[in-house]
Structure 1
Amino acid sequence: MDNTIIAYLIKASVALGLFYGVYILCLKKDTFLKLRRFFFLFAILFSLLFSLFNVEIPMTEESVQIPTYWLSDIELSDVSVDGSAEKPLSGWTVALLLLSTVSVFFACRFLIQLFSIFKLRISNESEKISEFRIIKMKEVKTSPFSFFHWIFINSETGTSVELAEIIAHEQIHVKQYHSIDVVLSEILCVFFWWNPFVWLLKNEMKINLEYLADKGVLDAGFDTKAYQYILLQVSNKNTGIPLINNFNVSQLKKRITMMNRKKSSIFLSVKYLLIVPVGVALILGNAVQASSDLMGIIAQNESLVEEYITEGQQVPQKKDGVFVTVDKMPMYPGGESAMHKFINENMKYPVAAQTAGIQGRVIVRFIVKSTGDLSDIIIIRGVEKQLDDEAIRVIKAMPKWNPGQQKGKDVDVYYTLPFVFRLAGAKKMKESGSSNETVVVGYGTQNDKKSAVGVASLQEAKSGEVPDHAFVTVEDMPMFPGGESAMHAFISENLKYPVAAQTAGIQGRVTVRFIVSKIGEISDVNVIRGVDPALDAEAVRVVKAMPNWTPGKQNGIDVPVYFTLPIVYRLKGKTDNRPNLFVSGEKIITESEYKEMVSEAKSDPNAMMVEIVLNDAEAIKIYGEKARGKRVIDVKKVKK
C-alpha cells in the first residue's frame, strides 16, 4: 500500500514537471492569458487523475497469459508468532511517514491562513455591493486583496479614483473565480511540497491571475499610466497571506511589462494543443506499466479460455522457454494436502504486520524446473514488504516438486501461488466457499482438477442473494451445453471465413468477451481485440448464435460470469509452404493414414477432426530431425 501511494505521487510529479516544462519552453512569452489559465488548471487536474485510470493496450500475438493455479484454504489466522519474527519498517513506510509529516505542517499552515482571512472578515466592517462584499480593514499597513466574493480594502488607501481602480482590479479576481486557482495551488503544495515544479507552477499561476486582473482593469477604460502608478504605491505593503489574490505582488516589473507587451498573433495559440501529446504520452506510459503488471496475474481475472482455429486448436504456449500450460502440471511432493501442511507449519505472520492490522493476499509466481527445483520466485501482487518477504521465504524453503510434463517429458513450468494473510479478529471461513466469503477459483489446463482457495473476508453476497455484477471467476464456470466437444462442433459448423477477408489475405486472432447470465443467456458480446471488421463481426455472430449455456455457480447460486473466447482465422497455405509432416500423439503417420482419418471423421456424424500445428522447436524436440523444415500437424479425431 505504501509503495502504491509513493508511486502515485511520483507519477503525478513527473506529469507536473512535464507540463511546467512545456509552459516554460513554449507558452510563457505569449499573451493568451485565459488559455494559459486553462493550461495550468488542466495540468494540475490531469496530473492528479491520469494515473488512477488504466487504459488497456491490446497485447501482441506473442504475449503469453500465465495461468494462476490456486490451492484451497491456504489461510493464515490464529497464528502463534514469536517475537523474532518482527521486522523493521520498510523503506516505503519510512518515506511515506516523512512525506506525511511535512505535509501535515503545510496543511496546518493552510488552515491558519484560512483562519486569518475569516478573522479579518469578522473583525472588520463590511458593505455589500452587487455580488461583492467590501470589507474595510482597520489595519492600515495591509494592502488590498480578495478571497472569493470578499474584497478587503484599506479605508485610507489613496483618493477615491485610486480606490476605484483597486476595487476594479479585485472585482476581476472575484468575477473570474481566481481564488479557486489559488486554493488549488496551495493544496497542491501541501501534498507535493517536495516537488520544486509545484512551487514554480504555483508562482506562475498567481502572476498570471494578476495579468488577467490587470488586463480587465485596462479593458474597462482606466488609464494605463495612472494604474501602473497605483501599483507602485502599494508595492511596499503585503498581507503575508499567500492564500489570497493580493493587489500587491513581488513581480511588479513583470506585470508592467505584460501590460505594455504587444498582443500575440492568434495563430500562435495553436501551441496550447501541446497538452494533447503530453497527455497521451502520460496515459500510454501509465497503460504500459499497468499492462506489464497485469500480465503476471491476468489468468486470475479471466475465465477458462478455449482457443479455436478454423482447422483446429493451438498448441500449449511457452514464454521465454518456460511452459505456461502443459499436459501434466507440476505437483508438490505428496500432493495438495501435503503442501497445505507444509505452509501451515512454516508460515509466520510478522508481528509488526499484525500490530499494524495489515492483511491481504500475496501472489507469488515461480518456475518449477524440469529437475523439480524452484527458481525465479517473484511477487506479482503484494500487500506489504514483510508479508511479501514471508511468502517468498516459505516458497524457497519448499522441497523439490514433481516436475510438469509435456508429451511425456519433464519441462520447466510457470506456477502461481496465492497466500492469504488474515488476522484472527477477521471473520473466519468455516469452509471453502462459505456463503458470506468471496472465493476465487483459478483454472489450469483442461486436465487440471479445479480447486478453490479461501480468500480474505470481503463480503461478496449474502446467502441466497445474486449479485448484479458479473463474476470473472467462480466455483463452477459456465459451460456450453454438451461440454467442450459440443462447442468444438458448434463453432466448426457455424463459423464462416468471410470471402472478402480470404481474398485480401486477412488472418489473425479475434478475441471476444461476453457474459453468460444466471439463466445461461449470452449477452454483452464485445470484441476486445479485433483483426478486421468482417472477421470481428463473424466471430460476434457465432457467439450470439450459441444456445443457452449451463450458467456458472458461486456458493451454489447461479450467477452471471464473464467468459473470453479467442477465435483464430488462418488461411491454408498462406503463411507456411513447407511440406507437411502428420503426427498423431507421438507417432508419425503417413499422408494416406491422415486422409483415412479425415475420411472416417467425415463419415461419422458424431466425430470431427482437430488439427494442431506445432511450433518448430517443440516439433524437433519431440520428433527429432524428421520434423526439421516441416510443417508438423498433430491430428486427432474427437467426438462432437
Structure 2
Amino acid sequence: MFTFRFLVLLALAATPALAQKPAKLKYPTPDANQIYDAVEQPAVPKGGPAGYAQYLETHQKYPTAALQAKQEGTVNVSFVVEKNGSVGEVKVVHSVAPLLDAEAVRVIQSAPRWTPAHQRGVAVRQRVTAPVSFVLAPGSGETVEVPTNLTASTQPLPPGAVAAAPGTTSVIGTTANGTAIIRPEKSAQPVGGNVAFFSWIAANQRYPDLARKRHMQAKVPVEFTVQPDGSLTDVRVVQKHGSGMDEEAVRLIKASPKWEPALYQGRPIKQKMQLPVIFQL
C-alpha cells in the first residue's frame, strides 16, 4: 500500500504542469483623453522639424509696435497635438513681450496639421513645446524718408517739430529739404526671410584670391537702399576690409534677389538697410 501511494505521488510530481495555461499579458488601452509628454512615436509636423521652423519664420508677422520698440527674442509655446493632427491648448510658457507672445500663439495655431503621436499603435494626444524666434534685421524700425506727397493725407507734424540737420534723421520731424521722416509699418525684408538670403549669399560668394592667400576672414558691413519695387540700390561698404572682400560684398548685394519693400499706409516705400557679408574660410 505504501509502495502504491509513493508511486502515485512520484508520478504526480513528475507530470509537467500543463494544466494551467500561461496568462497573456495585455497592455492597457491608452486613455482617450490622456496627454502624453513622451511616446513611442512622437508627433511630427508637416515637412519635418526643418520645414516647420521655416514655416514659423516665413509666416510670422512682426508686430509694428514691437518692431518700433526693437523688441526681439524667442517665445516658447506649449500646445497639444490632437489625435487628428490639429493643434490645441496653445499657451506661452516663456514670455518675451505681450505683442510677440500673441503673434507666436497665432502662427502656431495657423500652422498645418501634424502627423499625430502613436502609443502602442494607437493615435494619442501629445504635448509639444516649440520656440518661435523674432529677430530684428539690421535697420528694422529705423526712420526712413518718403516723398512729401505720400504723407499729404496724414496728420500734420506736432508743434515744435524741427528740421533735422543735413545728413541726419530723426524719429519725427522733417529733413532740411522738407522731406517727411517716418517709421515704416512693415520693415523691408528678404523674400523667404533672412535665412534664405544669407544662404543665397553663401552659395554665390566668390572668395577673393588675395583674401584667401592671406587667410583673411571678416564680416563686411554693407549699407543699401531697398526701393519700392524691391530692388537694392546705393550699395556701399560701411567699414572697409580690403583684399577684394569689399568689392565682392558690393557685387553680392547688387546681384541678390529683390526684397519685399517696406510699407507705409499699405504702400511700398524705400528704406535704408545694413547687413554683414560674411567671409569665412
For the criterion TM > 0.5, the same-fold answer is no
More strand by share: 2
More helix by share: 1
TM-score, normalised on structure 1?
Answer: 0.20
Answer with 1 or 2: which has the greater Rg: 1
TM-score, normalised on structure 2?
Answer: 0.42
